[in-house]
Each structure stands twice: as C-alpha cells, then as structure tokens.
Amino acid sequence: MAKTMAQLPYHYGVKVRIFPSTEQKWLIKRNSDASRFIYNQMNGMNNDLFWLKQVKIPITLVLDRIADLTERLKKPSTAISNIHGWLNHPDFDSLMKANAIKNYKTAWKLFRQVHQAGTPKFHKRGYTQTYQTSCLYSAKVTGPTMHNGSVRLNDSHHLQLPKLGRLRFKGLPSKILEQADDIRIGTTTVSMDAVGHYFVSMQIGSEHPFVSEQSVIKSKVGIDLNLENFLTDSNGQVIDNPHYYRTIRGKLAKAQRKLSRRARRAKKSQRRLSESKNYQKQRLLVAKLQLKVANQRKNFLHHVSTALIKNHDLVVAEELRSKNMLRNHALAMSISDVGWRTLLGMLAYKADLYGRKFLTIDPRNTTQTCSDCGYVMAGKNKLTLADRKWTCPNCGVFHVRDHNAAKNILAKGLATL
C-alpha cells in the first residue's frame, strides 16, 4: 500500500507561475470567492453558537438554534451546500470546499496552541485570490507520482488541475522534473497576487531527499542581526543592509498620494472603485512597486540563508521578537524593511533540508558581555545604541559591538548544545 504524504520522510514546497486562459481565470475567481464564503460561513456559525451559549435563560428559540448549529457543524460541508445551493454548481471543486473547512479548523488549532494571532477572523474580499485543492490518486494507482494524480504534470511545461484543466507553467526546478516518478503531490494552492500574476504552489513528498547530502565542514557560526548592517557573524564578516524599501520610498509615496486622489474623485462622482479605470491603473502601479521590493528582499534573504547553511554545520542566531520591537516607532520602518523573521524562518527549514543544525538563543546580555572575559557592562557603563565600539574595563580588550555580540551568541548556542 502506498504511503500517505504524512508518512513520507522528505517534504518540499514548489511554487510555479501559471498562464490561465480567460475562462480559467474566471473559474479561479469563482473558486476563490466560494472558498472565502465557506470559511466565513464556518466562522459565522461558530460565533453564533458561542454567543447563544452565553444565554443562561432556557428560551426554546435559543435552545433550538443551538441544537441546529451543533448539528450543522458536525457535517459543515453538506450543511452549507444544502442552504446555499449555488455551491453545488459543477464549476466548483469539491476539494476546495473541504480545504476551506480544514483551514478554518486549523486556524482554531493554532489559536489554542499559540494564543497570539487571536481567534479566526472573517476574510475580506480584496484584489488577491486564493483557494486550495488536493491531489487524489485512484485505488488502481499503486505508485503515486507527479504524473498520475488529479493534480499532475502532463509534460515539462503543462500541468493538469481539477476543474481548470490543462495549464501552461514555468519555474519548476529541473531536479524535481528529473525525479517526478518518485514524488507524490499533496495540497495544492492556486493563487493570484495583486498585480494579476497567477501561481500554483504544491506540497510534495518523497522517499528520497530533494537535495544532495552536504559534507561535514566542522564550521560553526553565530550571527548578530542589526540595523547598522544587516548581519555580522562571529568570524567578523559583515553583510550590508540593502534598504530596498528606502530606495523607492519617495516614488511609492507619490504614487500612493495619486491613488488616494483618484479614490476621492471616484467617490465624489459616486462611482465604484472597481469601475474607475484611472483608479485601477494607479492601483496596479502601486502594487507593482510593492511587489518589486518584496521580491528583491526575498531574493536577498534566500541568497544569505542558503550561503550560511551550506557553509556551516551549526548556525546560531538570537531569538527576535519583531512584534515587540515594532512598537518603537523610530525603528519600525527599518525593522519591517530588513526582514529578520523571514530570514530566521528560511534558516530553520533550510537547515532541515540540508541536514545542518540551526538554533536560536535568548539574546539577553549578548551585546553587553565581553566575549573574552565574560564581564557584563551594567549601570553607568551600560552600552547604548550609539556605542558601536568599546573597550572592556575588566580585561582591556577592544570590541566592535556587533562582532562581539555574534561571538557571545555562538558561545551561548554551544553551551545550549
């Protein structure tokens, strides 16, 4: 019997750009809207059930409504489709409905585990589209591959999706195409960004690793993330902060002001924004500017994270709480622009992928401690953000602030191991 996705030892994610026809674009929009509607229906039923249970007086009408909602939530897909008959239209992917309900339940599960993002919220309609489907294999298929499921590759440039049919794509790595017969496809996400580019993201699994095993280098490194320069490691190497957002900040602000004026003009003449062609042209221009910055930053972070993981057996970083740091309005823009949390996430999954070790440590006193003698700067001697270089009053060793912090981070990581 073939293994399920959860049973496969190696997992990978790929995102490819697709080029749908006009009819396929309409089907993507329909399924995206339906997915959002089902998610919101689930949220609405659960909210109603919660507040009705707060009523302590045994009113028959309330008790009947509670019983009805409880029964519906046992089989939500059937209940929602029975009430809203338009969801039974053949244009809709049945697996899209199941995934929308699954995503809602996952949101609750994450809330119970983390308690930071809050309870699930209603999804608003926007300029992006997204829905999820799954790859199913028939009972006759003994060896699931990328060529014989409901989501499958027809050739190196075309793939097949439920309801959408044949789609041209580009961007699939050659190493995936070469071992497609040993790979199983799982959850698949179809999406459109604010610029109008369409993508398919596939979760794939295999019995064999997706990257070749890296040789042992016996190299360990600690990294200090800061705003002065993007990154300083314990070997003294410095990576400059590219400041992608700052380079287009003025141009973006000008474009956004123009967008705001066109929105006010459309509102004054009582036209919908979706019908205002000048507004939509400017909205697309703003979206392209923002997408360019996001892509530049992502590309930079991928290069940095891959180089760190490939060149070191152990990478140690400080555990940053970006959400708390963003409360400092003087530094909020710079912190958002630099992408620290994204880098740490990349390092974590690439370490698993390449068989390396990555860990984060508590950054407490890593800046204030002398890496040579362990003396902690406190009281009047405590370093401020302006102190980029200092000399230890205990042992007299001269330190560059960020390099010293990186050494302490590595030492803490080794002590943890």
Catalytic positions, written as ranges: 224, 318, 402
- Secondary structure class of 117 (helix, strand, coil): coil
Residue type at 339 in one-letter notation: G
Pairing of strands 389-391, 183-192: unpaired
Six token digits for residue 394: 């205990």
Q: Are 15 and 201 in contact (CB under 8 A)?
A: yes
**Beta-bridge partner residues of 188:** 133, 202
- What is each CA distance from 176 to 13, 21, 130, 139, in whole angstroms? 11, 26, 24, 25
The residue written with tokens 């555990």 in the block is: 319
Six token digits for residue 319: 């555990």
Q: What single-letter DSSP state applies at residue 196?
A: S
- Secondary structure class of 141 (helix, strand, coil): coil
Residue type at 57 in one-letter notation: I
Residue type at 397 in one-letter notation: V
Question: What is the distance between the alpha carbons of residues 202 and 151, in angstroms, rounded to a whole number?
Answer: 9
Closest-CA residue to 313 (of 214, 200, 381): 214
| Axis-axis angle for helices 340-354, 277-311 (nearest 10) | 50
Pairing of strands 314-318, 220-225: parallel
